[in-house]
């Protein structure tokens, strides 16, 4: 499609980036299939008018509104429309994702630019990069060492690219907790309280934070920064306690926050932060407390000591009840007037996004935001462990993008939004989550099944009686017929390879123990041969996953996955050797199989239904009961 644009100077740089993906060739009027006049307005939103070979896009509130309109116009052209008028106003002043690039899988610049283009075409206007220690801090060579940290040049490049697309790229860092990888080194011992928390009151801590802010000041155009400060319930319990004795946690927390805010302001930034600790500290050890517990309101003492001008970010991805969100939005008014809400596209528990669970929690949350006057929302995409493919989260981001213009959730509208921006089918992305649900539950199970040891069988009690072979053969058949654009092929290939492996491996330990307990030597011999096939499929998955990683991410961090896959392959080879030795009479028993299989989550009876704990299990927990 040949397009010419008039009066498009403000969006032209971004236009040259998105045009090829939309199938648009930029040309002059003489060769154009359609001429588009671009007009800016004060009102936030956009309007598209198409009248045969003439079109007009009117937009206000930033260039991302224009790009959402452009995706719609390009779709009309592809489908043969000749006369259409459509417009939308925005519900949220700002709306965008927070992408986790700290948990081994650090997206490379090419992939981040792709993600920025896609969210711009959806009409999103912000993007946060969650970087714990994956950015360069001058004078601190071990900060982000061997972690794939972004250079200053890369951050500047990404910032400029985002601006051209109408997106505010916002640094999202940590200045207190979640710094385990940064604090592992001997060099960082002087400002380490606990393994993941900085030492409050230590001047070297504030020198580090000052240098962090210098990097951000040099690399980002925005004057907003997210400083983290969440989930630091062990503050003051390590070096601080030994050195200074006991001090109430809320005193340490608020003292540190005040110092940090001074530094942030000195570098010209306005801070925002996760708000959970104010509620946890106010709970004062309340039995059964969970984050944002409805029994808790922030105490007047703590609220009075929160520095002025710090925007609070209320994160919550766990509830289906709109009233829960509404109550907590109201509770946040005590902390400031401009609360930001952060929901989530649930990718942090396995290999595929839990789209269904995420959606059940997202819609009531956004409904509460609309009714509660929230003006800015985030869709967090955490990536704990690094197994997931972050690019798959785009389908979930379309919920937030489309809701931000419609003011409600409409599945067909979301599908159109996603297709126009990503040129792929929404339902294809939804199909990937099936890899997580052989147990019929709502929590991820792929990680548990992949890392379950063939001899130790830590997860065997959870899958006894499930026909995982039939289930995963069904998943494979469904995924096999799905076709997606090349950019997504590696992500889908990983899910396919995982499904193929789990068709054999999932219940291998259950079948092995059953054959051993029954003394069925024929079945044991067959299982010995099956070890070879499982080993081959493990290697196939490793290679396919590696190809996806190298496509989307920096190479740093893949060594963790190599170690996991290598360990699993060694264990399946050991399982074969143990079976063969037993069948040959070289050993009298396979002692690992003599052990009773207990549930990993320690639940019994009626409690065993669909344990939520699966989604937190890590390789190091699942693979062994030993020290590793």
pLDDT for res 442: 78
CA 553/CA 543 separation, integer angstroms: 15
pLDDT for res 336: 86
Which own/partner pairs from 14-19 qualify as long-range (CB within 8 Å, at least 24 positions apart)? 14/63, 14/67, 14/120, 14/164, 14/165, 14/166, 15/70, 17/113, 17/117, 17/161, 17/164, 17/165, 18/67, 18/70, 18/117, 18/120, 18/121, 18/165
pLDDT for res 544: 98
pLDDT for res 609: 52
* CA 348 to each of CA 138, 552, 568, 614: distance values in angstroms, whole numbers, following the listed order: 31, 17, 21, 11
CA 103/CA 338 separation, integer angstroms: 29
- Surface-to-core class of residue 42, CB atoms within 10 Å of its CB (0-12 exposed, 13-18 middle, 19+ buried): exposed
Residue 432 has pLDDT above 80, yes or no: yes
- pLDDT single digits (tens) 341-394: 999 999 998 999 999 999 999 999 999 999 999 999 999 999 987 899 999 999
pLDDT for res 337: 82
pLDDT for res 206: 98
For 41-90, strand residue ranges (E) read 45-51, 54-60, 83-89
Sign of CA dihedral 431, 436, 438, 439: negative
Describe the strand order of the beta sheet including 83-89 as a list of residue ranges: 25-26, 2-6, 34-40, 54-60, 45-51, 83-89
CA 321/CA 417 separation, integer angstroms: 26
Specify which residues 48 forms β-bridges with: 57, 86
pLDDT for res 25: 97
The domains found in the chain, sorted by start residue, are 2-89 (3.30.160.230), 94-389 (3.20.20.80), 432-622 (1.20.120.670)
Percent of the chain with pLDDT over 90: 92
Cβ neighbours of residue 314 under 8 Å, at least 6 residues apart?
275, 292, 328, 329, 332, 339, 340, 341, 342
| Upper half-sphere CA count for residue 577 (Cβ side, 13 Å) | 6
- pLDDT single digits (tens) 191-246: 999 999 999 999 999 999 999 999 999 999 999 999 999 999 999 999 999 999 99
- Structure-token pair, residue 152: 């200053």
The two beta strands, 54-60 and 45-51, are antiparallel
Residue 607 has pLDDT above 60, yes or no: no
CA 282/CA 244 separation, integer angstroms: 23
> Considering only 42-46, 383-387, 508-512, which range has the smallest mean pLDDT?
383-387
pLDDT for res 588: 98
Under 8 Å between Cβ of 201 and 237: no
Gyration radius from the chain CA atoms: 26
């Amino acid at each position: 499609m040949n397009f010419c644009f008039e009066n498009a100077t403000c969006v032209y740089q971004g236009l040259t980036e998105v045009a090829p993906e939309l199938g648009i060739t930029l040309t002059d009027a003489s060769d154009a299939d359609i001429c588009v006049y671009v007009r800016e307005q004060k009102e936030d939103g956009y309007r598209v008018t198409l009248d045969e070979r003439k079109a007009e896009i009117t937009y206000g509130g930033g260039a991302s509104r224009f790009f959402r309109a452009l995706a719609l116009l390009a779709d009309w052209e592809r489908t043969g429309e000749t006369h259409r008028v459509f417009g939308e106003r925005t519900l949220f002043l700002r709306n965008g994702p927070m992408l986790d690039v700290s948990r081994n899988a650090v997206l490379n610049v090419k992939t981040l630019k792709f993600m920025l283009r896609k969210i711009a075409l959806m009409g999103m206007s912000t993007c946060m990069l969650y970087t714990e220690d994956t950015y360069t801090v001058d004078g601190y060579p071990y900060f982000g060492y061997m972690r794939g940290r972004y250079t200053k040049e890369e951050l500047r490049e990404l910032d400029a690219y985002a601006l051209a697309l109408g997106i505010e790229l916002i640094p999202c860092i940590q200045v207190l907790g979640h710094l385990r990888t940064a604090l592992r080194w001997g060099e960082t011992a002087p400002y380490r309280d606990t393994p993941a928390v900085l030492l409050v009151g230590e001047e070297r801590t504030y020198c580090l934070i000052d240098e962090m802010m210098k990097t951000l000041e040099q690399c980002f155009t925005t004057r907003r920064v997210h400083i983290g400060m969440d989930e630091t319930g062990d503050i003051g319990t390590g070096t601080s306690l030994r050195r200074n004795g006991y001090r109430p946690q809320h005193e340490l927390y608020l003292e540190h926050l005040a110092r940090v805010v001074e530094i942030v302001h000195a570098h010209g930034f306005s801070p925002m932060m996760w708000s959970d600790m104010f509620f946890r500290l106010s709970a004062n050890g309340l039995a059964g407390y969970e984050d944002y517990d409805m029994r808790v309101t922030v105490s007047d003492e703590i609220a009075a000591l929160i520095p002025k001008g710090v925007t609070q970010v209320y994160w919550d991805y766990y509830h289906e009840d709109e009233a829960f969100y509404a109550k907590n939005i109201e509770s946040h008014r005590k902390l400031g007037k401009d609360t930001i809400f952060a929901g989530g596209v649930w990718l942090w528990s396995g290999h595929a996004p839990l789209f269904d669970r995420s959606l059940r929690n997202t819609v009531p949350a956004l409904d509460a935001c609309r009714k509660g006057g929230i003006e800015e929302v985030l869709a967090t995409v955490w990536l704990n462990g690094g197994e997931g493919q972050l690019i798959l989260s785009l389908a979930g981001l379309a919920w937030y993008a489309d809701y931000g213009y419609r003011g409600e959730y409409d599945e067909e509208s979301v599908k159109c939004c996603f297709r126009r921006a990503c040129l792929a089918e929404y339902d294809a992305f939804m199909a990937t989550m099936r890899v997580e649900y052989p147990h019929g539950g709502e929590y991820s199970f792929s990680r548990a099944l992949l890392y379950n040891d063939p001899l130790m069988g830590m997860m065997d009690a959870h899958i006894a009686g499930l026909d995982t072979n039939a289930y995963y053969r069904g998943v494979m058949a469904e995924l096999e017929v799905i076709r997606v654009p090349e950019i997504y092929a590696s992500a889908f290939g990983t899910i396919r390879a995982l499904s193929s492996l789990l068709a054999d491996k999932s219940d291998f330990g259950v079948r092995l123990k059953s054959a051993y307990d029954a003394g069925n030597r024929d079945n044991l011999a067959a299982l010995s041969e099956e070890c070879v096939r499982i080993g081959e499929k493990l290697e196939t998955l490793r290679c396919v996953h590696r190809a996806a990683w190298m496509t989307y991410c920096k190479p740093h961090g893949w060594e963790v996955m190599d170690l996991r896959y290598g360990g699993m392959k060694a264990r399946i080879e050991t399982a074969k050797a143990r079976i063969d030795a037993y069948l040959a009479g070289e050993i009298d028993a396979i002692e690992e199989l003599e052990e009773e299989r207990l549930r990993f989550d320690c639940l019994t009876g009626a409690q065993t239904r669909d344990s939520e704990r699966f989604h937190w299990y890590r390789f190091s927990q699942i693979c062994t009961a030993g020290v590793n």
